[in-house]
Homo-oligomer: A and B are copies of this chain.
Amino acid sequence: MAAAPSTASSRGSLDRALIVRTAVEYVDAHGVADLSMRRLGQQLGVEAMSLYRYVAGREDLLDAVVTEVMTAVDLDPHERLGPADGWQAFLQRMAHQVRDVALAHPKVFPLVATRSPDAPWLRPPLRTLSTVETFLEALISRGVDDATAVRMYRTFSSFLLGHLLLAVSAVGASTAPAEEPLIERTAEAVTDDHGDPLPDAPPPEERLPGLPNLQRLEPMLAEDRTAEEFEESLDALLQRLELLVP
């Protein structure tokens, strides 16, 4: 979709960074399942076998893809904040940064969430040593003690994982991020990708037989409220964490 920085095939033009960036683009566009060494080589104007000079294999490549998208979150603990801002401000900022990554790469984020990190004691989605070092330093330099910083790391990880995985799974489905209570499309013709009108969907009683609550609440369930819920839950989390540090 984006203007391709790929297809650079003159001798010596290949390197690991280019391969990984192209892989990220490919996954963003087509999903992980469609990424093969052969297709990625093609995208780069090169035979698949050439890639093995730079990556140890497909698994190594996927790990590199995960690390690549998460580097956007690797920030100075005091950048744009100042140490006076408190650990709450830092967590707010980092939460939104990770959220931006997830929404920018919805097809990559499940990998961020589920692949084994570099060290067994790291937890997704903050999965690189330097990111976690930054995280701990930011908290501790703002007066949080060691044990509490570690607790916060875990609670924060679980929060991000749950909300962001829910958000990207909602992206894969309902394209409309419900702004009004419900979109009124009474007489508008629904069309498919080719512009042809779709056949009328059967009414809820037929689609969901014997499931009265779902029949009634389907429109409400279909609304994408992930953005609001993220903010609310983040506030609630920070309030809860404040009880930990005296």
Residues of A within 8 A of B (CB): 110, 113-114, 116-117, 120-124, 129-130, 132-133, 136-137, 140, 146-147, 149-151, 153-155, 157-163, 165-166, 169-170, 172-174, 208, 211-214, 216-218, 220-222, 225, 229, 233, 236, 240
Contact = CB atoms under 8 A, between A and B. Distances in A.
Nearest to A174: B120
Contacts of A218: 121
A243 to B, nearest CB: 10
Contacts of A149: 213, 217
Contacts of A160: 162
A123 B173 CA distance: 10
B165 A114 contact: yes
B124 A213 contact: no
Query: In terms of DSSP, what is the predominant structure of the interface of chain A?
Result: helix
A204 to B, nearest CB: 11
A233 B173 contact: no
A229 B153 CA distance: 12
Nearest to A213: B136
Contacts of A229: 154-155, 158
A132 B161 CA distance: 21
Contacts of A158: 162-163, 166, 229, 233
Contacts of A216: 146
Contact of A166 (B137, B140, B150, B157): B157
A138 to B, nearest CB: 10
Given A123-B166, A211-B130, A229-B155, A217 B172 contact: no
